[in-house]
């Protein structure tokens, strides 16, 4: 499953592309989820930096109001330091979310988590793509770029290292 744009990779997970999909996170991708206001600010900052984004999903239910960036999964090549250093940007994003991400409501879903994705076909519902998988989107949002904008947002809100 290694398409350039990620659409074929995601399409392979759907049994019906006209319906939302609840999928285990951590194998094909990880999901970095945050409150909608933070997510829209991060999306705007990434676009301003001209980062080639991967798919980005929004849950607009009033009780949820979250945005999720699909990022490359945490490498699981071997336990210990090898797995942590295989993708230093992804590892740094996970570490940052564990220390400071809570101040912004950022959570990283990986192995053992689930996510509900919007249909790949047009759909009018509470779940929708802010950046749909496809030709215009990259395979996954770069972890390092997402970490940089989230760090900048947390500094603006006064979050401090624990």
pLDDT value, residue 162: 33
pLDDT value, residue 86: 60
Residue 43 to residue 52: CA distance in whole angstroms? 11
Q: Which residues pair with 58 in a beta bridge?
A: 67, 128
**Assigned domain for 85 exists:** yes
* Domain coverage including residue 69: 7-14+21-153
- Number of domains, the chain: 1
**Assigned domain for 25 exists:** yes
**Assigned domain for 126 exists:** yes
pLDDT value, residue 82: 43
Which range has the worst mean pLDDT, 42-46, 59-63, 75-79, 99-103?
Answer: 75-79
Instruction: Please tell me the pTM assigned to this model.
Output: 0.85
Number of neighbours of residue 48 by Cβ within 10 angstroms:
9
Mean pLDDT to the nearest integer, 65-88 = 71
Q: How confident is the model at residue 83 (pLDDT cuts 50, 70, 90)?
A: very low
pLDDT value, residue 84: 45
**Assigned domain for 44 exists:** yes
**Assigned domain for 107 exists:** yes
Which residue, among 110, 84, 104, has the nearest Cα to 151 in the 3D structure? 104
**Assigned domain for 161 exists:** no
Residue-wise pLDDT tens digits, 95-152 = 999 888 888 899 998 888 899 999 999 888 899 999 998 867 778 999 999 999 999 9
Contacts of 4 (CB under 8 A, 6+ apart): 139
Contacts of 161 (CB under 8 A, 6+ apart): 99, 100
**Assigned domain for 1 exists:** no
Q: How confident is the model at residue 57 (pLDDT cuts 50, 70, 90)?
A: very high
**Assigned domain for 99 exists:** yes
pLDDT over 70, % of the chain: 83
């Amino acid at each position: 499953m290694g398409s350039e744009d990620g659409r074929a990779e995601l399409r392979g997970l759907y049994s019906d592309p006209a319906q939302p999909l609840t999928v285990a996170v951590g194998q094909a991708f990880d999901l970095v989820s945050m409150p909608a206001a933070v997510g829209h600010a991060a999306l705007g900052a990434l676009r301003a930096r001209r980062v080639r984004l991967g798919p980005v999903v929004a849950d607009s239910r009033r009780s949820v109001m979250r945005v999720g960036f699909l990022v490359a999964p945490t490498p699981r090549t071997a336990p210990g330091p090898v797995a942590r250093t295989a993708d230093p940007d992804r590892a740094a994003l996970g570490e940052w979310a564990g220390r400071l991400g809570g101040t912004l409501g950022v959570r990283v879903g990986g192995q053992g988590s689930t996510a509900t994705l919007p249909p790949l076909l047009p759909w009018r519902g509470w779940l929708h793509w802010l950046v749909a998988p496809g030709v215009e989107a990259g395979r996954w949002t770069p972890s390092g770029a997402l970490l940089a904008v989230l760090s900048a947002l947390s500094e603006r809100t006064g979050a401090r290292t624990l």
